[in-house]
Amino acid sequence: MSDFAIKQRLNRAIKSAIKLLDQPPGSYEIILLNNHVFHIEAIRKKEIRKIRVVLDEITEEDEKMVREFSLPEICTKEIWAKKERGRGFEIREIL
């Protein structure tokens, strides 16, 4: 698969994750992030979720990158993996 196709697939996965987070509509304030670790920030009154979206499987490198990123305790760090032929996401919270 070309780099362009992979980038398109990742962008579709990120949009799909945003749709899931926005159910019911308005439940989170959602911000797209442009850093290399997290893709989405979802905020509501007493919760902040930082989400990294990956394709197919969560690697040790993904986990290490997220685990080592320093955030306030109120933030939850998550990795969402979108399978190529599957619906939904595998979601893993990283402590």
Question: Could you read off the pLDDT of 59-88 as tens digits, one per residue?
Answer: 999 999 999 999 999 999 999 999 988 789
Contact 8, 84 (CB under 8 A): no
Q: What is the pLDDT of residues 16-25, one digit of tens each?
A: 999 999 999 9
pLDDT computed for residue 86 by the predictor? 79
Extents of the domains making up the chain: 3-94
Q: Is 77 helix (H, G, I), strand (E, B) or coil?
A: strand
Considering the domain 3-94 in this protein, what is its CATH number?
3.40.1350.10
